[in-house]
C-alpha cells in the first residue's frame, strides 16, 4: 500500500544546480543564431554562481542573495572547470526554448506559432522574441484573448498538415480550451479512424511563482493526464528544454510541454551541435543506493538542495527527473526501485489526483515486490495558492520536508 506523506514547514530557499547528461541523440548540424534579450534579470548559473543585472533594484538583490546555489550535483564534489573553457554556448532556459523553436522553424516551413502577444511583443516571457520579424506575421500569429478559439484553430491547422505551437500566456488560461484539448486534440486521430494526425505542441508557463495568486499558480498536469492520446513532458534545464521542444515539434502526437515560471532565467551551457531529447525518457540526475527520489520541473532543485544535506548525514539518494509525465519511463524508474527498494516522490502538483498519485499507482502495480517500505509522496496542499509569500511557501514542498521524509524512509 502506498502512504501519502504530507507535512508543513521548511525553508523557502530555492537551489539551482547543474543538469546532467541523459541519453541523447546528436544530429549533424550547427546552431543557428537567435536574437538576444536585453533586459534586467537575475541569473543563477548551472555552476552555482549568481549574476545580477538588476537595474539598481536593491530589494531584488537582497532576494537573490537568499538563493542557495551549492546543491549537490554528483556523488562527490569536484572542482568545476571554468565555464569559458567548456564547449558549447550558454543560454537561459527561455532562450534555449527559443533556439529550439527557431531551429525547427528554419528546418520545416510547416512549423508555426500562435498565441497572445507571441508576435512583435515576443511572448509574455520572450520565448518568441524576434521570430515575427524573421518569419512574418502568418507564421508567428498574434491572436485575440480567446484560448478556446486559437487552440481550436491550431488543432484544425494541424489536421491540414501544419505543425502549430500554441502558447498559453499562462497555463491556467488553457482551462478555457479544455474542450478543444480533450475532445479534439487528444481524440481526433482515433475518432477519424487514423485519417488525421494532430502534430501540435501546447506550451506555456505554469507552476507556483512568487506571489502570482491562485489563478496564476495552477499546475495543470493533473487536469490533462487523463486525456487519451496526449503526451506530456516537463522541462527543468536549458538543455532538456531545447531538446524536448524540438522533439515535441517533430512528434506526430499532440504534446503538452510544461514550463515552470521560476526556471526561465536558469542558465546552462548546452552543445553547439543539434540534438533532441527522447519524449518518453527520464533523466538520471544523481545515482545513489539508499532511496529513489522521483521529481520533475522546479522540484528537481528542491530535491538537489535536500540531497546535499542528506549526503552530509550519510545517505546516498538516487535522484531521477521523470521529465515524461505521460507516459512514465517505467524502465528507468523500475531499475532504480529494484536497486534502492525505497521510493520518495516529490512534486509541486496537488496531492489529490496529481502526477504523484498516478506514479504511486504505477510503481505499486509493477514493482510492489521490490519495495521494502511504503511509497512516500510529498505534494502541494489541496488549497488555492495564497498570495501572501509566507503562506505560499507553506503550501509547496520545501527541502527540509524532503530530508525528513528520506530519514523516515531509511530507518
Strand partners, 270: 89
Q: Any catalytic annotation for residue 331?
A: no
Q: Note if the bond before 265 is cis, omega within 30 degrees.
A: no
How do strand 41-45 and strand 324-326 relate by DSSP bridges? unpaired
Question: In whole angstroms, what is the distance from residue 67 CA to residue 245 CA?
Answer: 28
Chain center to CA of 261? 9
Grid cell 510544461 — which residue? 258
- State the catalytic residue, choosing from 103, 116, 147, 392: 147
Question: In whole angstroms, what is the distance from residue 255 CA to residue 200 CA?
Answer: 6
Find the angle CA(179)-CA(185)-CA(186) to the nearest 5 degrees. 95
Question: In whole angstroms, what is the distance from residue 342 CA to residue 80 CA?
Answer: 31
- State the catalytic residue, choosing from 189, 216, 260, 302: 216
Cα torsion at 194, 199, 205, 208 (round to 10°)? 30
Contact 157, 113 (CB under 8 A): no
Cβ-based burial of 66 (10 A; exposed 0-12, middle 13-18, buried ≥19): exposed
Q: Any catalytic annotation for residue 216?
A: yes
Contact 72, 307 (CB under 8 A): yes
- Put residue 393 in one of left, alpha, beta given phi > 0 → left and psi -120 to 50 → alpha: alpha
How many Cβ atoms are within 10 Å of 199's Cβ, its own excluded? 20
How do strand 255-260 and strand 231-234 relate by DSSP bridges? parallel
Residues annotated as catalytic are: 147, 216
Amino acid at each position: 500500500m502506498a502512504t501519502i506523506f504530507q507535512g508543513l514547514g521548511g525553508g523557502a530557499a530555492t537551489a539551482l544546480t547543474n543538469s546532467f547528461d541523459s541519453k541523447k541523440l546528436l544530429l549533424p548540424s550547427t546552431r543557428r543564431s537567435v536574437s538576444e534579450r536585453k533586459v534586467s534579470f537575475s541569473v543563477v548559473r548551472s555552476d552555482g554562481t549568481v549574476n545580477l543585472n538588476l537595474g539598481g533594484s536593491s530589494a531584488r538583490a537582497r532576494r537573490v542573495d537568499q538563493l542557495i546555489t551549492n546543491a549537490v550535483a554528483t556523488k562527490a564534489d569536484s572542482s568545476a572547470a571554468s565555464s569559458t573553457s567548456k564547449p558549447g554556448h550558454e543560454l537561459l532556459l527561455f532562450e534555449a526554448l527559443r533556439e529550439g523553436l527557431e531551429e525547427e522553424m528554419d528546418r520545416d516551413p510547416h512549423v508555426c506559432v500562435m498565441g497572445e502577444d507571441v508576435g512583435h511583443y515576443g511572448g509574455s516571457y520572450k520565448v518568441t522574441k524576434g521570430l515575427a520579424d524573421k518569419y512574418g506575421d502568418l507564421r508567428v500569429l498574434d491572436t485575440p484573448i480567446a484560448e478556446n478559439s486559437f487552440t481550436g484553430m491550431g488543432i484544425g491547422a494541424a489536421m491540414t498538415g501544419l505543425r502549430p505551437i500554441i502558447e498559453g500566456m499562462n497555463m491556467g488560461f488553457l482551462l478555457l480550451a479544455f474542450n478543444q484539448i480533450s475532445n479534439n486534440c487528444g481524440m481526433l486521430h482515433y475518432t477519424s479512424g487514423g485519417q488525421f494526425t494532430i502534430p501540435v505542441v501546447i506550451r506555456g508557463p505554469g507552476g507556483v511563482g512568487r506571489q502570482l495568486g491562485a489563478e496564476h499558480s495552477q499546475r495543470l498536469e493533473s487536469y490533462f493526464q487523463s486525456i487519451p492520446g496526449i503526451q506530456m513532458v516537463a522541462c527543468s534545464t536549458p538543455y532538456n528544454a531545447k531538446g524536448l521542444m524540438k522533439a515535441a515539434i517533430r512528434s506526430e502526437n499532440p504534446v503538452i510541454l510544461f514550463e515552470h515560471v521560476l526556471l526561465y532565467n536558469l542558465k546552462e551551457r548546452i552543445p553547439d551541435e543539434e540534438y533532441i531529447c527522447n519524449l518518453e525518457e527520464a533523466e538520471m540526475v544523481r545515482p545513489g543506493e539508499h532511496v529513489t527520489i522521483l521529481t520533475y520541473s522546479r522540484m528537481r532543485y528542491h530535491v538537489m538542495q535536500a540531497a546535499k544535506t542528506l549526503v552530509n548525514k550519510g545517505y546516498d539518494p538516487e535522484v531521477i527527473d521523470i521529465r515524461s509525465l505521460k507516459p512514465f519511463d517505467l524502465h528507468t524508474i523500475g531499475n532504480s526501485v529494484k536497486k534502492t527498494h525505497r521510493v520518495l516522490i516529490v512534486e509541486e502538483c496537488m496531492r489529490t489526483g496529481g502526477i504523484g498519485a498516478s506514479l504511486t499507482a504505477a510503481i505499486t502495480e509493477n514493482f510492489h515486490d521490490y519495495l521494502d517500505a511504503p511509497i512516500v509522496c510529498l505534494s502541494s496542499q489541496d488549497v488555492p495558492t495564497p498570495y501572501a509569500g509566507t503562506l505560499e511557501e507553506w503550501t509547496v514542498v520545501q527541502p527540509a520536508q524532503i530530508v525528513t521524509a528520506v530519514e523516515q524512509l531509511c530507518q
